[in-house]
């Protein structure tokens, strides 16, 4: 079996690429970073440091790489039976034209074998969003064929992979935590489910996507944003700060109450899930900067993402949301000279003030009580 994976970054190399190669799949990465492409094509292998109480170094071998918008990438799309991505939500739109050209070549070549595409991004139903981008650029005469032959499989992906501390000396170095979880929607595959140990099929994906995004990523973002305010550089230092931890845990519990009500999760098991996540944030073997985890605040504060969607759930069910409000206020305070979204946020705040900025980013109702609550928390944090 052959696969093409878009995005040879931290999750691409450290999680999805490794699982595919471990399953005996012949893997090619597609990326735009020439240094990474050259290193992959030079060495055809790289090492993954798995860190925890026990540490191990695994070698991922026999891999190749192509430029993401090249004809070589299109030709592979025409041949492979699996395409995965870990490029970041904003890049999905950028890879759609290459996908469209590759799928047109596949059809022209008469390749009727099923192809499955799985986006492994931190977003709800990312593959479905990639499909929307693809259909915007796909020629109308290709659409029925693509619907019939290509499975667009949504997934939830969980493994903390910060940039490696050795990245300066080795562009392929990658350090990952021991924990990993990749859950895919088995109802969306075309043809037989590929046998990939570590890929878990479910017919209840939304529950798992929301459980992950609205627990781990909710708590992670708040740890980063409040951590930055308190002067911490890393997620570990931030979560060991009892003031930060209390809000993070409180927000995960508030979001958890929504998830329990919506999906019927067992409350005790959900409490254990939160407890385990707090331990993962504390991992002494990983150096994860608050800037990585707090990045792109406009995306993280948007309507369907990790703060606002759980907040809306608490409003829907009449549940407490004090800590989520603190987290959202902290997101509005997030600053980073390197991050264009943080720059845009600062400009919005300067021009419009906190209430109008929040309403614009999150889609919350300007007249709602909760907007006033966030503004009050924002002022208190200043
Ligand atoms: N790192 C984590 O802990 C983690 C965990 C779960 C999910 N995720 C999600 O995985 C995705 C990737 O995150 P990451 O941490 O690996 O980021 P990353 O920046 O390390 O990797 C992204 C890769 O995509 C490449 N890229 C950019 N534009 C491209 C294009 N047009 N075509 C092909 N490749 C392109 C970049 O060069 C880079 O190698 C994000 O959606 C993230 O939310 C990350
Ligand atoms: O990748 P983002 O920017 O959506 O979120 C930052 C982190 O919370 C995220 O990458 C986590 O490390 C990951 O989701 C763990 O599975």
Alpha helices by DSSP H, 55-157 = 71-79, 92-108, 126-137, 143-149
pLDDT score, position 19 = 98
Whether residues 53 and 110 share a domain: the answer is yes
Boundaries of domain holding 73: 2-202
**Residue 268 sits in the same domain as residue 302:** yes
Take atom 4 of ligand 2 and give the residue whose Cα is closest: 122
**Ligand 2: nearest atom to the Cα of 159:** 16
Same domain, 302 and 223: yes
Residue 280 in contact with ligand 2 by CB distance below 6 A = no
Where a domain ends, among 160, 182, 202?
Answer: 202
| Cβ(158) – ligand 2 distance below 6 Å | yes
Q: Is 276:219 a contact under the CB 8 Å cutoff?
A: no
Same domain, 220 and 342: yes
Residues 49, 121 within the same domain = yes
Pocket lining: 122 vs ligand 2, CB cutoff 6 Å: yes
CA dist., res. 33 & res. 7, Å (int): 9
Question: For the chain, how many structural domains are there in total?
Answer: 2
CATH number, position 116: 3.40.50.720
Give the per-residue pLDDT at 165: 86
Whether 258 and 335 share a structural domain: yes
Tokens found for residue 225: 């944003």
Can you give the pLDDT at residue 235? Answer: 98
Pair 252, 326 in one domain: yes
171 and 236 both lie in a single domain:
no
Task: Give the number of whichever ligand sits closest to the CA of residue 302.
Answer: 2
Q: How far is the CA of 133 from the centre of ligand 2 (A)?
A: 23
Cα separation of 306 and 107, whole Å? 38
Query: CB of 159 closer than 6 A to ligand 2?
Result: yes
CB under 8 Å to 275, separation ≥6 — which residues? Answer: none
Predicted pLDDT of residue 301: 98
Residues 370 and 269 in one domain: yes
Provide the ipTM: 0.98
CATH number at 350 reads: 1.10.1040.10
Residue 6 corresponds to which tokens in the numbers above? Answer: 């878009």
User: Quick one: which H or E segment has residue 37?
Assistant: helix 34-43
The residue out of 156, 184, 202 marking a domain boundary is 202
Q: Are residues 258 and 286 in the same domain?
A: yes
Q: In terms of domains, do 96 and 48 share one?
A: yes
Residues 6+ positions from 175 with CB-CB distance below 8 Å: 14, 48, 49, 51, 161, 162, 164, 165, 166, 285, 286
pLDDT of residue 365: 97
Angle at 338 between CA 332 and CA 339, to 5 degrees: 45
Show pLDDT as tens, one digit a residue, over the chain (382 residues).
999 999 999 999 999 999 999 999 999 999 999 999 999 999 999 999 999 988 999 999 999 999 999 999 999 999 999 999 999 999 999 999 999 999 999 999 999 999 999 999 999 999 999 999 999 999 999 999 999 999 999 999 999 999 998 888 899 999 999 999 999 999 999 999 999 999 999 999 999 999 999 999 999 999 999 999 999 999 999 999 999 999 999 999 999 999 999 999 999 999 999 999 999 999 999 999 999 999 999 999 999 999 999 999 999 999 999 999 999 999 999 999 999 999 999 999 999 999 999 999 999 999 999 999 999 999 999 8
Q: Quick one: 185 and 229 in the same domain?
A: no
Given 202, 235, 252, the domain boundary residue is 202
């Amino acid at each position: 079996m052959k696969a093409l994976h878009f995005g040879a970054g931290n999750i691409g190399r450290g999680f999805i690429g490794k699982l595919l190669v471990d399953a005996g799949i012949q893997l090619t990465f597609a990326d735009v970073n020439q240094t990474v492409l050259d290193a992959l094509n030079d060495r055809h292998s790289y090492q993954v440091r798995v860190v925890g109480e026990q540490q191990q170094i695994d070698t991922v071998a026999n891999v190749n790489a192509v430029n993401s918008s090249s004809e070589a990438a299109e030709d592979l799309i025409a041949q492979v039976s699996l395409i995965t991505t870990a490029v970041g939500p904003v890049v999905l739109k950028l890879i759609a034209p290459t996908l469209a050209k590759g799928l047109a070549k596949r059809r022209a070549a008469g390749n009727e074998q099923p192809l499955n595409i799985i986006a492994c991004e931190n977003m709800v139903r990312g593959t479905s969003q990639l499909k929307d981008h693809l259909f915007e650029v796909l020629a109308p005469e290709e659409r029925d064929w693509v619907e019939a032959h290509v499975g667009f499989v949504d997934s939830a992906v969980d493994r903390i992979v910060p940039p490696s501390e050795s990245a300066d000396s080795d562009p392929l170095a990658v350090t990952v935590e021991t924990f990993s979880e990749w859950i895919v929607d088995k109802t969306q595959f075309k043809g037989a489910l590929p046998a990939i140990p570590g890929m878990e099929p479910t017919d209840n994906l939304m529950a798992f996507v929301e459980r992950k995004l609205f627990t781990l990523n909710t708590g992670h973002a708040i740890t980063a944003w409040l951590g930055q305010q308190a002067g911490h550089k890393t997620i570990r230092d931030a979560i060991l700060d009892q003031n930060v931890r209390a809000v993070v845990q409180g927000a995960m519990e508030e979001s958890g109450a929504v998830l329990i009500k919506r999906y019927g999760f067992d409350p005790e098991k959900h409490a254990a899930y939160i407890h385990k996540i707090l331990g993962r944030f504390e991992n002494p073997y990983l150096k994860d900067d608050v800037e990585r985890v707090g990045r792109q605040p406009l995306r993280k504060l948007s309507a369907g993402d990790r703060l606002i969607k759980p907040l809306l759930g608490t409003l829907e069910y009449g549940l407490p949301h004090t800590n989520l409000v603190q987290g959202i206020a902290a997101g509005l305070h997030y600053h980073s000279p390197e991050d264009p979204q943080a720059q845009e946020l600062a400009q919005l705040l300067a021009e419009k003030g906190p209430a109008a900025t929040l309403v614009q980013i999150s889609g919350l109702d300007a007249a709602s009580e909760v907007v006033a609550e966030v503004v009050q928390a924002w002022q208190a944090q200043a």
